[in-house]
Amino acid sequence: MEVVRFVHIDHHFDLKLDKEWDISSWKVGIEANDGATILEQMDVDNQIAKLMVELSRSQDYEIGDGTTGVVVMAGALLEQAEKLLERGIHPIRVAEGYEMASRIAVENLEHIAQKFDFGVTNLEPLIQTCMTTLSSKIVNRCKRSLAEIAVKAVLAVADLERKDVNLDLIKVEGKVGGKLEDTELIYGIVVDKDMSHPQMPKQIKDAKIAILTCPFEPPKPKTKHKVDIDTVEKFQTLRKQEQQYFDDMVQKCKDVGATLVICQWGFDDEANHLLMHRNLPAVRWVGGVELELIAIATGGRIVPRFQELTPEKLGKAGLVREKSFGTTKDRMLYIEHCANSRAVTIFIRGGRFFSFFFFLVLACSLLLLIWFNL
């Protein structure tokens, strides 16, 4: 009989190896040295044990490292709390004491923390710290290059004077295929879209971008309606009006100087064909979050109505290019050399496990923030 022993936390808050199961009939086995992974797979009924699992999960999500350490520390604190309860001290007093101790500990961290100087030419301390986090992960074989990417991404969006980092400015995108070593940091935005027409230009230099949240189509009445067309002349008149409306929208974009249109909504084949003939590249069905990042990176404004489109609201990018991957038809849009270089994208390549690395990169970033006291 194959036997596996699991860690179990009993009602005395002691860690004991006291559970055995027959695993000879199991089809899936788990072998890991990561505390969060082990605790995540444990089937526990004890309420304190469930809190420990939640603690480990929160630590892994927020920081990405130290999951075993927080569980061990919490277990030690609970052990001491039990002794205080046995002495008749009220639980609220114990909780207040722990909160006071936490404040004192945080205040003293500033005095005992190891400080160092870093800059563009001296990133090694930060890289070494990030590599420590990656050592126990599945991506440790290329931890050096990935650590450098994480460090540069954080420093690109960090405001060191205010000691603040907006991690929302770091977009993490991935595409299955290639090697993990092909992962790159792009000082700009990568969108999982391509040009709306295959004959549109694949590369635009010094692009002026119109960022639209209004549909590229004639307005629709908000009430229920129908149109009766009983003659060919009426149908042709309707078609001409529709074409004129599309032409006016395209001309409006051209008049303000736009060389690229990025739209949150779609547009039909007729509008797409007209955009291609008027030499105005366009991208459709771009998500709201991505539109916001594009607006931040390019210094543009999101325009909800065509009437509000002005030259001042256009975003600017040094290069917009469409890139294909291997022999597949997958294409992505790279918006680079933007007006605001504080918006970056980590573009991950590799197998299907790359989604796991999304959280890993952000975890490394958060660890770096702690390291240089942000």
Instruction: For the chain, 374 residues long, give each residue's pLDDT as a single digit of tens.
Output: 333 333 443 433 344 434 444 444 444 455 555 666 777 777 778 888 888 888 888 887 777 677 888 888 998 999 999 999 999 999 999 999 999 999 999 888 878 877 777 666 778 878 887 787 777 666 677 778 888 888 888 888 887 777 777 778 888 887 877 777 888 888 888 998 889 888 899 999 999 999 999 887 777 777 787 878 888 888 888 888 888 888 888 888 889 999 999 999 888 788 888 888 888 999 999 988 889 989 988 989 999 988 889 999 999 999 999 988 766 677 889 999 887 777 888 888 876 545 455 445 554 554 554 444 44
Q: Which is it for the CA torsion 48, 49, 50, 51, positive or negative?
A: positive
Could you tell me the two tokens for 48? 């304190």
Residue 75, amino acid: G
E strand residue ranges, the chain: 3-9, 15-22, 158-159, 164-165, 170-176, 184-186, 188-191, 203-212, 260-263, 282-283, 302-303, 315-324, 331-338, 344-350
Q: Tokens 């006016």 sit at which residue?
A: 248
Of 357, 315, 35, 42, nearest to 175 by C-alpha is 357
DSSP 313-360: G-EEEEEEEEEE-TTS--EEEEEEEES-TT-EEEEEEESTTHHHHHHH
In sequence order, what are the beta bridge partners of 17? 7
Residue 120, amino acid: V
Other beta carbons within 10 angstroms of residue 178's beta carbon come to 15
Rounded Cα distance between 232 and 230, Å, is: 7
Q: What is the pLDDT of residue 16?
A: 40
**If one looks up domain 188-220+228-340 in CATH, what number appears?**
3.50.7.10
Q: What is the pLDDT of residue 374?
A: 46
Burial class (CB in 10 A: 0-12, 13-18, 19+), 110: exposed
DSSP 186-240: ESEEEES---SSTTS-SEEEEEEEEEE-S-SS----SS-------SHHHHHHHHH
**If one looks up domain 3-112 in CATH, what number appears?**
1.10.560.10
Q: What is the pLDDT of residue 179?
A: 79
Q: What is the pLDDT of residue 364?
A: 53
Rounded Cα distance between 166 and 170, Å, is: 8
Q: What is the pLDDT of residue 121?
A: 72
Q: What is the pLDDT of residue 327?
A: 60
Q: What is the pLDDT of residue 30?
A: 53
Of 89, 71, 80, nearest to 12 by C-alpha is 80
Sequence ranges of the domains in the chain: 3-112, 188-220+228-340
The C-alpha angle with vertex 306 and arms to 320 and 294, in degrees rounded to 5, equals 30
pTM of the entire predicted model: 0.67
Q: What is the pLDDT of residue 203?
A: 92
